[in-house]
Amino acid sequence: MCGIAGVFDRNGGDQSHSVEAMTRAIAHRGPDGHAVWSDAAAGVALGHRRLAIQDLSPAGAQPMVSADGRWVIVFNGELYTHMTERPALEAAGCSFRGHSDTETFLALIQRYGVEATLPRLVGMFAAAIWDRQDRALWFVRDRMGVKPLYWAEFGTAVLFGSELKALAADPRCSRDIDPESVAQYLRFGAVPAPRAIWRGVHKLAPGSWLRIGADGSRTNGQYWSVTAVAEAGLATRLPADPILVGQELDRYLHDAVACRLIADVPLGAFLSGGIDSSLVVAVMREVSSAPVRSFAIGFDDPALNEAAHAAAVAHALGSDHTTLMASGRDAEALIPGLAGLVDEPLGDASILPTYLVSRLTRGHVTVALSGDGGDELFGGYDRHRLAHRLTQARTRLGFLSPLATMAARSLGGRVPALTKLAEVLALDGADPLYSWFISHWKTTAAVLPGVTQPVSAIDDPTLAARVPDPAERMLLADSLLYLPDMVLTKVDRASMAVALEAREPLLDHRLVEFAWRVPLALKLREGRGKWLLREALYRRVPQALVDRPKQGFAPPLAHWLRGPLRGWAEDLLSPQRLADHG
């Protein structure tokens, strides 16, 4: 785990000074070392900030050059099964200096090439790879988008980095706000890939690669697609047998968690007491030979506090549990610095407790497993169940649906909730319904006059034919946009701000492919979401600890913005400030 940055200028020249500045800007991602590799004749420099996890010796340091001297890599992330690739590589004549996954990554590229290597990898990664022979720069990103990679081309120079602040350290980088990206932010609460908030800057899409040649040519491709996985899964359904499917789930969970325990540093897990994190900790206990450490955040406001639930689950599982009790003031104090933490606007208040629990955890371990992904794969959000029910209700109502809409509208002035119900009932189909649920602003015309709302991945008109069931299409839409651009961005920034590596076993691509073969009836069942995951957890902890409402974290933002943060917020929204920023 680390931070990466670099420059490739087709006009040549020494880029190392610029890349030194770029890596300094993301020093928080890698406090254990830094280095820059450069070739002035080719105009390329690659920089790395190291958070040492596997092979803490100099043999694991980056930038790293392949054994044959052709390839140079800077790599952010982890390859969890890389040691299983080594016997075949050694039989083919490869030799290794150490046991880092970076060295295995390079050996695979040396033997198979970049494109053929990517499908072999199990892990989370964002990497830049320089081909010294063909004078070409490759960018690659993991399947689900766990690790970030920004890139931009200004004139003859290509810049890249793990965060926008790395690109900003190079004076060639434009910082002009892209109004269409602002429109997407106002809609989704995030700027989805491939866009970024700055004009001309891009995010590499999950599961994809990009090659930039010395002549400026670009070629790109996708080696894995969650949409294609969904289609394949729906075509090869598992039988709706909860026992057999539950056994298969256990096998995938054990493999996903076990391989994520590879580390040469202390390791633990986030534990909120919810289904996903509790299941991860339970499986850790089953596959780990060492005691499991778990960490939770609690708040002095009872409405926000899940610490007691987490402690009860930890006691049931026998984990070595640590809780940090925080106050509303602790979270409130973080808000003015959030922009510097995330770079791009990110409208998710749960970044506050995510940062606080990451800071707590980093005081004890360097790696933490999380439960991210369970909601998006197995139907855990309220909107999944509500939209499913509303779609069924509309079908049953038939011609009465317009009458119900009119009634809700007429009463909406007296009962505000009915106004929202009327809006929902008036929507034409499941896809507009999903958009309504996830859109913060239903229309941005009032605040961004003349700005066209860009088409996003979830607006693809072919999705309905490829994934016919509305509820399953909603799960796919979450995996395409909400998960990588909101949830995983939040976790990456909050954890890496304190140099903590967060690993997501529920997003192992093999488990994702399995989840899409699971019948919907084993996900949304008996009026509850994540039924299959619940059943897996019931086998490991008392059911009474699991069956409680999904709480999440909802800080009293309105109170803070009317009270202690009012001056700060009003200054940001003052007419002069808005005019200055356009």
The token pair at 503 is: 């690993």
* Count of CB atoms situated within 10 Å of the CB of 208: 22
Phi/psi for 509 (5° steps) reads -65, -25
Q: Do 23 and 34 contact (CB within 8 A), yes or no? A: yes
Q: Do 471 and 520 contact (CB within 8 A), yes or no? A: yes
With tokens 């690109």, the residue in question is 167
Q: Is 526 left (phi over 0), alpha (psi -120 to 50) or beta?
A: left
The token pair at 98 is: 């150490």
pLDDT of residue 399: 47
pLDDT of residue 443: 82
pLDDT of residue 557: 76
> Concatenated DSSP letters for 3-46?
EEEEEEETT----HHHHHHHHHHTGGG-TT-EEEEEETTTTEEE
What does the alpha-carbon distance between residue 489 and residue 148 come to, in Å, rounded to a whole number?
A: 8
Q: Do 171 and 110 contact (CB within 8 A), yes or no? A: no
Q: What is the pTM of this model?
A: 0.93
Helices (H) then strands (E): counts for the chain: 26, 17
What is the number of alpha carbons within 13 Å of residue 322 lying toward its C-beta? Answer: 18
What does the alpha-carbon distance between residue 372 and residue 350 come to, in Å, rounded to a whole number?
A: 13
pLDDT by residue for the chain (582 residues), tens digit each? Answer: 799 999 999 999 999 999 999 999 999 999 999 999 999 999 999 999 999 999 999 999 999 999 999 999 999 999 999 999 999 999 999 999 999 999 999 999 999 999 999 999 999 999 999 999 999 999 999 999 999 999 999 999 999 999 999 999 999 999 999 999 999 999 999 999 999 999 999 999 999 999 999 999 999 999 999 999 999 999 999 999 999 999 999 999 999 999 999 999 999 999 999 999 999 999 999 999 889 999 998 877 776 677 888 999 999 999 999 998 887 778 778 888 888 889 999 999 889 889 999 999 999 999 999 999 999 999 998 888 876 677 666 666 554 455 555 555 555 555 566 666 666 666 666 777 788 888 888 888 888 888 988 888 888 989 999 999 988 999 999 999 999 999 999 999 999 999 999 999 999 999 999 999 999 999 999 888 999 999 999 999 999 888 876 666 667 778 778 888 888 889 988 999 888 876
Q: Name residue 57's amino acid.
A: S
Q: Which residues contact 447 (CB under 8 A, 6 or more apart)?
A: 186, 441
Is the four-CA dihedral 133, 138, 142, 144 of positive or negative sign? negative
Q: Name residue 461's amino acid.
A: P
What does the alpha-carbon distance between residue 252 and residue 508 come to, in Å, rounded to a whole number?
A: 9
Q: Which residues contact 43 (CB under 8 A, 6 or more apart)?
A: 7, 8, 9, 10, 11, 12, 13, 15, 157
> Concatenated DSSP letters for 254-295?
HHHHHHTT--SS-EEEE--SSHHHHHHHHHHHHH-SS--EEE
Burial (CB < 10 A; 0-12, 13-18, 19+), residue 63, is: buried
Q: Check whether the bond before 63 is cis (ω within 30° of 0).
A: yes
